Amino acid sequence: MKKVRFQLSQAYFAAPGLRVMKLRGDTEGAAGPGRFVEVSAPGFFLRRPFSVCGVEGDELTLAVKLAGHGTKALHELAPGAQLELLTGLGNGFELSAAGERPLLLGGGSGVAPMLYLARELSKLGVRPAAAIGFGSAGEVCFEREFGETCGSLRVFTLDGSRGERGLVTQALGEGFSSVFACGPLPMLRAIDEKSPAPAQFSLEARMGCGFGACMGCTIDTVNGPRRVCKDGPVFRSGEVRW
């Protein structure tokens, strides 16, 4: 874990309320699908945790969903702004367990970090299947990028206004070697209950410190209490007591 200064080099909205931020700095401690960083928002004491959505050289990509005053401050930053990040946090997905036909499932703001995973698997010669889910057509993002990277892609919306009506869990089935997922807790719980293939989940949680000291993100697992920030955020099938 270390504090690193980054500079905002580029930012754009992938969907209403979802700002993609590209930062330049020392990315060594941030690399790895499933890991996260803690960002100091200007004018706020507590840092905000964000999943890593991409690392290329000295460029780190984050997707910041508008959720309150802190994320609003991040949305208002202009290119050139300096930010302090904590990197080297959490564990990531175990890519070696993907097998020949992995399925990636992303819901809402959990879609962006799954694109990072898809690209890293592609570099290893594995073209995963993917399913991404949103509330409605206006929230759909990264569809083109997933289509270019994955062997197959299904898009779901709750109201059926884009792609298939329903939930990404409808994509589960036989024939997949593994499942990787990031999204709301009810979605992850359903995947854990229904997936015939071994699964890995990247959990979202409110965090105080981000490195295990405050115990604010503790969850119950079959191995006893575990901290999402320190022992996770990636957990495996049958591990979490939902």
Binding site members:
48-51, 70-71, 209, 214, 217, 229
DSSP per residue, 169-218: GGG--TT-SEEEEES-HHHHHHHHHH-SS-EEEE-----SSSSSSS-TTE
| Binding region for [2Fe-2S] cluster | 209, 214, 217, 229
Query: Would you call 146 helix, strand, or coil by DSSP?
Result: helix
Q: Which residue has the tokens 């997922």?
A: 181
| C-alpha to C-alpha distance for 83 and 29, rounded to whole angstroms | 16
Closest of 206, 178, 204, 209 to residue 191, by C-alpha: 178
- Cα-only R_g, the chain: 17
Enumerate helices (H) and strands (E) in the chain, giving the number of each: 4, 16
Q: Are 6 and 83 in contact (CB under 8 A)?
A: yes
Q: Which residues carry a binding-site annotation for FAD?
A: 48-51, 70-71
Element (H, E) at 144: helix 143-149
Could you write out the three-class secondary structure of 70-103?
A: HHHHHHCCCCCCEEEEEEEECCCCCHHHCCCCEE
